[in-house]
Amino acid sequence: MRGFNSENYVITGLENVSGLTWNRSATVKAHGPYPYHSLICILKGSRELTTDAKANLSARTGSILLLPQGTVYTVDRGEETEGMIVNFMAECNACTPFAYTVSNFSKWQALFASLQSIWLHSKPGSTARCFSLVYQALAMIDEYRVKQDLPIARQKALEKSVIYMEANLGRPSFSVETMAPVCDMCPTYFRQQFRRFYGASPKQYLLNARIRKAKDLLATTDLTITKIAEKTGFSSLYYFSKAFKVATEHSPRDYREKGSDVIEAEA
């Protein structure tokens, strides 16, 4: 999966979302090159693919494949294999083909089923919803890649830093410098590894955690907004109100008065 980064993809269009069948065959058939990227979810069966880059990919029940634009591949002889495929256009940096077997396959099945349903029953907003789901799939691949590349010990250290962060949300002076020693890393390296693992800087992750906590307190308690700002680590009511509105498009007072359920439904 070397070279893949979901942030490198800017989706520009969808070619199709459909079922995929590789029939039992006595011959080896070449596919491609195609002018789009193919994301494949294998639902049943097992086959081996060989690409023009000499990459050998195992397509088996529960696996996900990504074949970049321009890939030529052959499907070896084997049992009948069924799946779902999304062909999409995107601007991106070079990426090598890959396949992996997922542990949360039901989540992938649901994602592909949603994509196919939206594609087949097109209505206003369908394209945007399909784009969103493809981006979600790419993000899931990226998350898997990062976890595969990072040693288990480093993953656990970073997870420990988030637990430490959650326990110290109410401290306005809380900073990356206080988190890095928890992972036994210097601040610069910690920032790099944290962003790589969680997809956000420690500072942004901390702000998001504070906003989530504030939303919960606004919805479930009678604490004053000033008190909630204090309990979630904001240095002033002004900064809290400004950050909250940027994150939610509502002031803390509006969020409480209108009701979180209504606001979340509108979003």
- Mark which of 100, 120, 149 sits at the end of a domain: 149
Q: Which of 42, 39, 101 is closest to 67 using CA atoms?
A: 39
What is the CATH number for 124? 2.60.120.280
Residue with token string 């949360």: 104
Backbone angles phi, psi at 199, to 5 degrees: 75, 15
Distances (CA, A) of 164 to 157, 230, 265: 11, 18, 32
The reply to whether 1 falls in a domain is no
Contact between 231 and 263 (Cβ < 8 Å): no
| Position 263 pLDDT exceeds 60 | no
| Position 8 pLDDT exceeds 70 | no
Statement to judge: residues 247 and 137 lie in one domain: no
Statement to judge: residues 143 and 181 lie in one domain: no
Distances (CA, A) of 130 to 4, 8, 17, 120: 21, 18, 9, 11
Check residue 101 and give its pLDDT.
84
| Position 54 pLDDT exceeds 60 | yes
The reply to whether 126 falls in a domain is yes
pLDDT band at residue 64, thresholds of 50, 70 and 90?
A: very high
Check residue 72 and give its pLDDT.
92
Check residue 265 and give its pLDDT.
47
Check residue 3 and give its pLDDT.
42
**Partners of residue 18 on adjacent β-strands:** 85
| Position 14 pLDDT exceeds 70 | yes
Better-scored residue on pLDDT, 37 or 96: 37
Statement to judge: residues 129 and 177 lie in one domain: no
What is the CATH number for 178? 1.10.10.60
Statement to judge: residues 97 and 169 lie in one domain: no
Over residues 84-111, the mean pLDDT reads: 86
The reply to whether 131 falls in a domain is yes
In angstroms, the CA 192 to CA 73 distance is: 36
Check residue 260 and give its pLDDT.
55
The reply to whether 59 falls in a domain is yes
pLDDT band at residue 1, thresholds of 50, 70 and 90?
A: very low
Statement to judge: residues 14 and 123 lie in one domain: yes
The reply to whether 33 falls in a domain is yes
Average pLDDT, the chain: 86
- Mark which of 149, 180, 197 sits at the end of a domain: 149
Check residue 2 and give its pLDDT.
40
Statement to judge: residues 161 and 116 lie in one domain: no
Statement to judge: residues 158 and 250 lie in one domain: yes
The reply to whether 237 falls in a domain is yes
Statement to judge: residues 41 and 166 lie in one domain: no
Residue with token string 């321009």: 70
Better-scored residue on pLDDT, 153 or 53: 153
State pTM to two decimals: 0.58
**In this structure, which amino acid lies at residue 122?**
S
Percent of the chain with pLDDT over 90: 46
Q: Which domain holds residue 184?
A: 153-266
Percent of the chain with pLDDT over 70: 90
Burial of 266 (0-12, 13-18, 19+ CB in 10 A): exposed
In angstroms, the CA 154 to CA 183 distance is: 8
Check residue 6 and give its pLDDT.
61
Statement to judge: residues 169 and 196 lie in one domain: yes
Distances (CA, A) of 150 to 156, 214, 219: 10, 32, 38
Domains in the chain: how many in total? 2
Statement to judge: residues 126 and 197 lie in one domain: no
Statement to judge: residues 196 and 108 lie in one domain: no
| Position 93 pLDDT exceeds 70 | no
- Mark which of 117, 133, 149 sits at the end of a domain: 149
Statement to judge: residues 23 and 113 lie in one domain: yes
Over residues 188-211, the mean pLDDT reads: 87
Check residue 94 and give its pLDDT.
58
